[in-house]
């Protein structure tokens, strides 16, 4: 139980309007987009780094666990508390664009789509774009080292983090302020991908690049899955900007017929890329059709829920390139064995697949998810971009994390229970 | 195994077909102005298994504007407003209600309408083509809408009669009250339809429109064409003789009229006969609620005020001369927070422009 005194002091820090305690509604903050749920003992909403610092000092003093929360769109349970106080960051949502530096400073709670819109006014953008663009916060995305499409050429969001302001578990405020397109990474990069366990990110300096004058999208049909590696090798050679896989089920859900296909995005007027894609039978889609395709791709994972009980059961696997078609075949086996429907799509340029499970019930979905995880592990796959959190069986090098964690958070108050610790 | 069992208990939300993706959160007006997730669609669904006397929980369920914009973006077709309305019914049965909602339901019991007023009743003598049913707000609060409608219908030479005995029951349904008020009015209207041999039943209020057209189907329907005034004017535009004055008008789509009933083109067709239309950034099926829907204005006025502020700002950016709506309730609410903007109901706006 959390001491009453602690709650009173929390109220002194954020005021009663930004504290929820002793109410059923804390259940909303006890889960995220994953199948996991825990228990939030209270929810607080700080408005600035100083308040975050006061909250952490109190939590540290009273040894009360705390969990930073963005939009709760994570699918690995990262924001799921276990008898912890939830620090909801969404009130801290300021955005400032430094146009000439091509840098945007975003507070942790700003929504990615709002950042995109602010940058767009200056003809700038940040290439990694998750399907949850309109949902996720900058803090959550960076804490998960999220990615999305465009992973091959641009990498994950880590590559775009120039600096970070954060509060350490003992309440110390650190400001690692770089407005440059290169910066020493040893300090601020610690927080990227730390999934809320090493510090509470309050603000992020992100690198942006100019929006290309022109971009094109091509759809390349696949006759069968075994062709995929061969085609992919040729596609990757032209260094396209995004390469996405859509299996036949997802294709029909998107309204693109029954054939599986690869979608390729190319910035600029690249004749060589066009020739290669053409030789693979690719066709280009334009203007409204192109916009519609990417928008629907963005929500494909949720869209298929029309077909049954949809659970985001940790369906994010980075697979060795050599095992790609093999893995897709094995997913089909799991589908046959469990009776669940599994829609496969994902970012082919990083071989990061999202087999999305739809079944009759929650239990069936979880059974299929377990089988998928076992299969993935056997194939040397790991977590791609949705975070490890409660799927710690995929994490290697735990010793390094354990030591880091001990250095920064001796009382283990920040997001405990994640990564298996 | 996937994670620890401790975290994977089954939840009722799965049976609602909600994938918990969160796509509905940012778009929800009550979330937008509070940034509390329990005041968002996903939050409300997560809390939907419970009926408990807990202030924030009750607020979560009863502060939904039933605006339906969440359903517009939900990729899984979750029927969010229906789930919330059903839940409200369960709360009402256990008399767990926000304080002022209790008063409103008492008004229904005592006076048969949400305002608790003695509203004058009107009956039709003989046969007519059109039954005009003005509804409580046009009669008891925003009388000019009623008077303008009568003026317009007369100028068009429509054979009509005015009927008002009971409230349509909409407010009661939207906040979890029982069906009896709707059923009582249904019986009454059925009798009037049979007696007057009318072919059309005309309403001003989108709340009445939805209730009479959709909810009364449960009782067997009225056997008459039910039309919102904007639909009627659009369809009979050639009978309208209007003065064009070229002012710039922005139209506020009421959630019930646009999203719930699909009426979007009709009011624009009528307005474009007299003026230039400039759209706010959210309009038509994507319209943003005025903040007054779903009974929220009754018990959570601060939410109504904040949502309304957002909407008013959207209109301010259009630089329109007048903001027109075609819902007496939206009109009333927007007018109360107009902050210098001119707000009109479509009927008054058109009545003012009738050729003498
Ligand atoms: C429909 C859908 C599509 C998705 N598509 C993609 C995709 O294409 N690519 C991708 O990478 N991911 C994707 N995701 C999952 C992805 O993990 C999240 O959308 C995003 O990274 C999480 O952001 P959030 O704000 O919701 O964070 P939350 O879920 O709230 O939290 C995620 C983690 O970050 C921590 N955290 C949050 N805020 C802070 C902070 N300020 N400081 C420190 N730690 C913090 C939390 O403790 C938690 O561990 C998708 C999810 C959904 C539902
Ligand atoms: S109906 Fe409107 S207010 Fe209610 S949950 Fe949906 S978006 Fe929010
Ligand atoms: S958009 Fe639909 S599926 Fe997604 S969280 Fe909202 S209600 Fe659930």
The residue ranges of DSSP E strands in A131-199, in sequence order, are: 161-167, 173-176
B120: in domain: no
* pLDDT at A314 exceeding the cut of 90: no
Taking only the tens place, the pLDDT of each residue in A344-394 is 999 999 999 999 999 888 888 889 999 999 999 999 999 999 999 999 889
> Does B15 sit within 8 Å of A309, measured CB to CB?
yes
User: By the 8 A CB rule, do B289 and B310 touch?
Assistant: no
Q: Which residues of B touch A80 (CB under 8 A)?
A: 7
A386: in domain: no
* CA A117/CA A322 separation, integer angstroms: 38
Taking only the tens place, the pLDDT of each residue in A203-248 is 999 999 999 999 999 999 998 888 899 999 999 999 999 999 999 9
Where in the sequence is the domain holding A337, given as residue range(s)? 215-378
CATH of the domain at A131: 3.30.465.10
The helix (H) or strand (E) run that includes residue A332 is helix A324-338
Q: What is the pLDDT of residue A67?
A: 98
B114: in domain: no
Is some CB atom of chain A closer than 8 A to the CB atom of B26?
Answer: yes
User: By the 8 A CB rule, do B130 and B152 touch?
Assistant: no
Mean pLDDT in chain A? Answer: 94
CB of B30 closer than 6 angstroms to any ligand 2 atom: yes
Q: Which residues of A touch B61 (CB under 8 A)?
A: none
Token reading at A388? 């490890």
Helix (H, G, I), strand (E, B) or coil at A156: coil
A111: in domain: yes
A270: in domain: yes
A189 and A321 inside one domain: no
**What is the mean predicted confidence (pLDDT) over A154-174?**
97
- Ligand 1: residues with CB < 6 A are A 32-33, 67-75, 78-79, 89, 108, 130-132, 136-137, 139-141, 143-144, 146-148, 195-196, 200-201, 301-302, 385-387, 389, 415; B 21-22
CATH of the domain at B141: 3.40.50.1860
Longest dimension (CA), chain B: 79
Q: Residue of the nearest CA to atom 32 in ligand 1?
A: A140
Q: What is the pLDDT of residue A226?
A: 87
A250 and A193 inside one domain: no
Is some CB atom of chain A closer than 8 A to the CB atom of B5?
Answer: no
Q: What is the pLDDT of residue B174?
A: 83
Using alpha carbons, select from A177, A183, A134, A135 the residue that is nearest to residue A158: A183
A124 and A83 inside one domain: no
A396: in domain: no
Q: How far is CA B282 from the centre of its chain?
A: 17
Is some CB atom of chain A closer than 8 A to the CB atom of B11?
Answer: yes
Domain boundary among A166, A190, A210: A210
B91: in domain: yes
Domain boundary among B235, B254, B280: B235
CATH of the domain at A32: 3.30.43.10
Helix (H, G, I), strand (E, B) or coil at A97: strand
ipTM for the complex shown: 0.95
> Does A28 sit within 8 Å of B7, measured CB to CB?
no
Q: Residue of the nearest CA to atom 2 in ligand 3?
A: B74
* pLDDT at A193 exceeding the cut of 90: yes
Q: Residue of the nearest CA to atom 7 in ligand 2?
A: B28
Stated pTM of the model: 0.95
Rg (CA), chain B: 21
Q: SS3 string of chain B?
A: CCCCHHHCCCCHHHHHCCCCCCCCCCCCHHHHHHCCHHHCHHHHHHCCCCCCCCHHHHHHHHCCCCCCHHHHHCCCCCCHHHHHHHHHHHHHHCCCCCHHHHHHHHHHHHHCCCCCCCCCCECCCCCCCEEEECCHHHHHCCHHHHHHHHHHHHHHCCCEEECECCCCCHHHHHCCCCCHHHHHHHHHHHHHHHHHCCCEEEECCHHHHHHHHCHHHHHCCCCCEEEEHHHHHHHCHHHCCECCCCCEEEEECCHHHHHHCCCCHHHHHHHCCCCEECCCCCCHHHCCCCCCHHHHHHHCHHHHHHHHHHHHHHHHCCCCCEEEECCHHHHHHHHHCCCCCCEEEHHHHHHCCECC
B190 and B250 inside one domain: no
The number of distinct structural domains making up chain A is: 3
CB of B67 closer than 6 angstroms to any ligand 2 atom: yes
Percent of chain A with pLDDT over 90: 86
Phi, psi of B31 (to 5 degrees): -70, -45
* CA B3/CA B13 separation, integer angstroms: 20
Strand-strand pairing, B200-203 and B225-228 = parallel
The residue ranges of DSSP E strands in A70-229, in sequence order, are: 82-88, 95-98, 103-107, 124-125, 161-167, 173-176, 200-207, 209-210, 215-221
B84: in domain: yes
A200 and A140 inside one domain: yes
Nearest-CA residue of chain A relative to B79? A306
CB of B69 closer than 6 angstroms to any ligand 2 atom: yes
Supply angle C-alpha B59, B301, A109, rounded to 5.
65
A303 and A225 inside one domain: yes
User: By the 8 A CB rule, do A76 and A84 touch?
Assistant: no
Please enumerate in sequence order all residues whose Cβ is within 8 A of that of B344, keeping only pairs 6 or more positions apart, or say none: B322, B323, B324, B325, B331
* CA A235/CA A223 separation, integer angstroms: 16
Is some CB atom of chain A closer than 8 A to the CB atom of B86?
Answer: no
A80 and A115 inside one domain: no
* CA A65/CA A364 separation, integer angstroms: 33
Phi, psi of A180 (to 5 degrees): -120, 160
Where in the sequence is the domain holding B347, given as residue range(s)? 242-351
Q: Within chain B, which residues score under 70 in pLDDT?
A: 1-15
Percent of chain A with pLDDT over 70: 100
Convert A91-107 to b/e letters by CB count within 10 Å (16 or more is b). bbbebebeeebbbbbbb
Q: What is the pLDDT of residue B241?
A: 95
């Amino acid at each position: 139980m959390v001491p009453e005194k602690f709650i009173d002091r929390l109220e002194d820090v954020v005021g009663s309007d930004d504290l929820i305690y002793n109410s059923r509604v804390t259940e909303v903050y006890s889960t995220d987009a994953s199948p996991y749920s825990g228990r939030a003992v209270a929810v607080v909403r700080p408005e600035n780094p100083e308040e975050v610092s006061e909250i952490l000092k109190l939590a540290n003093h009273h040894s009360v666990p705390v969990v930073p929360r963005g939009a709760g769109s994570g699918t690995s349970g990262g924001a799921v508390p276990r008898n912890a106080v939830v620090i909801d960051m969404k009130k801290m949502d300021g955005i400032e664009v430094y146009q000439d530096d091509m840098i945007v400073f975003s507070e942790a709670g700003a929504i990615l789509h709002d950042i995109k819109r602010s940058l767009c006014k200056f003809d700038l953008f940040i290439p990694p774009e998750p399907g949850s663009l309109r949902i996720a916060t900058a803090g959550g995305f960076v804490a998960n080292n999220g990615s999305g499409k465009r992973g091959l050429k641009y990498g994950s969001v880590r590559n775009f983090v120039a600096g970070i302001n954060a509060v350490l578990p003992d309440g110390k405020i650190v400001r690692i302020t770089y407005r440059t397109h290169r910066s020493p990474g040893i300090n601020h990069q610690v927080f990227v991908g730390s999934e809320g366990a090493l510090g509470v990110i309050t603000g992020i300096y992100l690198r942006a690049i100019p929006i290309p004058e022109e971009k094109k999208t091509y759809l390349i049909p696949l006759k069968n899955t075994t062709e995929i590696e061969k085609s992919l090798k040729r596609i990757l050679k032209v260094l396209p900007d995004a390469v996405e896989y859509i299996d036949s089920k997802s294709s029909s859900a998107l309204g693109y017929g029954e054939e599986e296909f690869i979608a390729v995005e190319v910035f600029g007027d690249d004749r060589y890329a066009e020739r290669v894609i053409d030789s693979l039978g690719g066709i280009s889609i334009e203007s409204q059709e192109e916009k519609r395709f990417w928008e629907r791709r963005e929500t494909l994972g949720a869209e298929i829920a029309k077909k049954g009980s949809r659970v985001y059961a940790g369906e994010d696997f980075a697979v060795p390139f050599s095992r790609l078609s093999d893995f897709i075949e094995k997913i089909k086996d799991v589908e046959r064995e469990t009776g669940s429907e599994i829609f496969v799509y994902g970012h082919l340029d990083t071989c990061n697949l999202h087999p999305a499970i739809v079944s009759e019930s929650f239990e069936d979905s979880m059974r299929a998810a377990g089988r998928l995880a076992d299969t993935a592990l056997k194939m040397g796959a790991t977590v791609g971009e949705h975070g490890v959190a409660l799927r710690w069986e995929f994490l290697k090098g735990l010793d390094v994390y354990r030591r880091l964690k001990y250095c920064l958070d001796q009382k283990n108050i920040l997001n405990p229970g994640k990564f298996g610790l | 195994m996937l994670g620890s069992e401790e975290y994977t208990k089954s939840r009722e939300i799965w049976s609602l077909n909600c994938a918990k993706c969160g796509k509905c959160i940012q778009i929800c007006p009550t979330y937008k102005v509070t940034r509390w997730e329990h005041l968002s669609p996903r939050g409300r669904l997560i809390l939907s298994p419970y009926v408990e006397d807990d202030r924030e929980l009750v607020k979560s369920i009863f502060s939904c504007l039933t605006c339906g914009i969440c359903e517009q973006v939900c990729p899984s077709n979750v029927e969010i407003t229906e789930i919330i309305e059903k839940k409200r019914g369960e709360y009402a049965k256990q008399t767990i209600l926000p304080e002022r909602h209790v008063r409103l339901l008492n008004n229904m019991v005592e006076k048969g309408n949400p305002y608790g007023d003695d509203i004058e009743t009107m009956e039709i003598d003989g046969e007519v083509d059109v039954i005009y049913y003005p509804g409580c707000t046009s009669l008891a609060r925003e009388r000019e809408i009623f008077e303008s409608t009568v003026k317009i219908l007369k100028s068009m030479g429509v054979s009509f009669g005015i009927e008002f005995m009971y409230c349509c029951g909409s407010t009661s349904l939207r906040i979890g009250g029982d069906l009896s008020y709707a059923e009582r009015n249904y019986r009454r209207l059925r009798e009037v339809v049979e007696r007057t041999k009318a072919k059309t039943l005309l309403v001003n209020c989108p709340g009445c429109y939805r209730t009479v057209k959709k909810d009364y189907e449960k009782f067997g329907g009225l056997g008459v064409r039910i039309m919102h005034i904007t639909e009627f004017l659009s369809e009979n535009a050639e009978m309208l003789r209007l003065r064009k004055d070229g002012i710039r008008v922005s139209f506020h789509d009421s959630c019930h009229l646009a999203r719930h009933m699909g009426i979007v083109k009709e009011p624009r067709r009528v307005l474009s006969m007299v003026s230039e239309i400039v759209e706010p950034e959210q309009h038509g099926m994507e319209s943003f609620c005025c903040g007054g829907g779903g009974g929220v204005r009754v018990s959570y006025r601060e939410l109504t005020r904040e949502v309304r502020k957002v909407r008013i700002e959207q209109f301010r950016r259009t630089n329109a001369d007048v903001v027109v709506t075609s819902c007496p309730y939206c009109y009333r609410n927007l007018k109360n927070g107009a902050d210098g903007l001119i707000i009109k109901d479509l009927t008054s706006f058109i009545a003012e422009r009738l050729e003498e």
